[in-house]
Amino acid sequence: MALTITFQLSDRDLAHLGTVVNKAKAKASSLGEGDVINAARGLLEESRNLEVPDFIRERLDKLQLLIQMLEDKVWELSGEDRARITNALAYFADPDDIIPDNVPGFGLLDDAVVIDLACQELRHDMEAYQDFCKFRDSEEKRRGKSVDPMSPEQWVRTRRAQLHDRMRRRRSSLWESRLGRSFF
């Protein structure tokens, strides 16, 4: 028997969480992007050795997608797009998060909440990337895999540019509707 529990973060809760996330971003600013990615990857690896609730595991799986977006050379994220995702991962590079990760059963709860917030805020980026991966996979099956992944064919460049443009347009309308509130 599954049980659904819902909770609502108040403006005060969001402000507190925003403060914690901003502190983590400030600490991570002295690190390189690779260090931030490695810290997020480390959380994923450590969690594999822990017995965590399914709802936390589901969110940790989404963290993997954010890492892939940064590491995918053909997706070519740059500038603000890249910084937004790196900033979302910065929380996982901070050892002083809200709930220490070693607290049995609940240590990754705050991480799951931050992942949910990141996924809500980055949903257009994530959707565009997933669409790109599907497109790339289907085209590679149809055309054959490119020999050099660093020099993608014109069809990949065109579709990537379309999806980058779409995610920015959708993000812009989201930004306006939320009156500029952003965690990442």
What's the distance, Cα to Cα, between the start and end of the chain in Å?
Answer: 36
Which pTM does this prediction carry?
0.81
Q: For residue 162, what are its two tokens?
A: 């379309």
Which among 80, 102, 88 is positioned nearest to 167, based on CA atoms? 80
Which among 7, 13, 36 is positioned nearest to 24, based on CA atoms? 36
* Rounded average pLDDT over 82-104: 84
Distance CA 98, CA 111 (A): 9
- 152 has a pLDDT exceeding 70: no
> How high does pLDDT run on average in the chain?
85
50-74: per-residue pLDDT in tens?
A: 888 888 889 999 999 999 999 999 9
Query: HSE on the CB side for 73, CA within 13 Å?
Result: 5
Percent of the chain residues topping a pLDDT of 90:
27
DSSP H helices in the chain: 11-28, 33-48, 54-71, 79-90, 109-121, 123-143, 154-177
Confidence band for 179, pLDDT divided at 50, 70 and 90: very low
